[in-house]
Homo-oligomer: A and B are copies of this chain.
């Protein structure tokens, strides 16, 4: 949350770079890029005050397509990088983004611990239930009977990962689901996520038209959440554990205090510290 009153106003275009995305035509991630830039414009955050961090994957290519400070790190480690940025420079607006493989498979531990740590940042996962970048393997969110991956030709046979349930169980402070096809709605979710203090998690259903062409049908399957977001974790848990995965909107809003180590007002000099060694 940056002060919005004194800032100049920006348009979504101010947050876009000249770099041409490598994404396939029709990939859902184009629209997510649009939503993020719209949200930043809506919040009027100066581009130089935003840090946008990602891992590796198609979706993780996103930062270079924006005009904010970006970091395209290694596979699965976007959240620790984002944590380092926010904790050391609390005045920045910090967003992490990436894919379901990056975030829930190799990056799953950081996901849990970031929820728990509750640093004031926003994590946007473009979930396409597949590893796009490596040409179509099952991700944690893939249905157990999807047989199109050469690596698991019989399907994974494993229960899919429920990102929202895990986020809640681990302690995320804001939980939302969106659909990339609804660019404005998604921009709104992201705006709220950024505004909400603490760790905000936004799962975006973002079709991979190349390896999961059937996801084009998602547009007909998503529907707005029937009820208002709760702030009771136990109730939220029951709801999320039984939802159909296409429930779109803000689903949980917590009120935990964000993690931000206090900095001492009066700062010692290094020489002061050395006294402890003197015999």
Contact size range, A: 35 or more
| Residue numbers in B under 8 Å from A116 (CB-CB) | 140, 158-161
Is B158 a contact partner of A118 (Cβ separation < 8 A)? yes
List 15 additional contacts besides A109-B112, A116-B161, A233-B241; criterion CB under 8 Å.
A107-B109, A108-B108, A108-B109, A108-B113, A154-B262, A162-B169, A166-B169, A168-B169, A169-B169, A234-B238, A234-B241, A234-B242, A237-B237, A237-B241, A238-B238
Q: How far does the alpha carbon of A171 sit from the alpha carbon of B154 in the complex, in Å?
A: 21
Query: How far is B233's CA from A163's CA once the two chains are assembled, in angstroms?
Result: 16
A119 to chain B, nearest CB (A): 10
**Can you list, as one digit per residue, whether each of A228-272 has a CB less than 8 Å from chain B (1) or not (0)?**
000001110110011000000000000010010110000000000
The dominant DSSP class at the A interface is helix
Residues of chain B lying within 8 A (CB to CB) of residue A86: none
**Known A233-B241, A234-B242: A171·B159 in contact at CB below 8 Å:** yes
* B238 and A112 within 8 A (CB): no
Most chain B CB inside 10 Å of its own CB: which residue of A235, A238, A261: A238
Chain B residues positioned under 8 Å from A170 (CB to CB): 161, 166
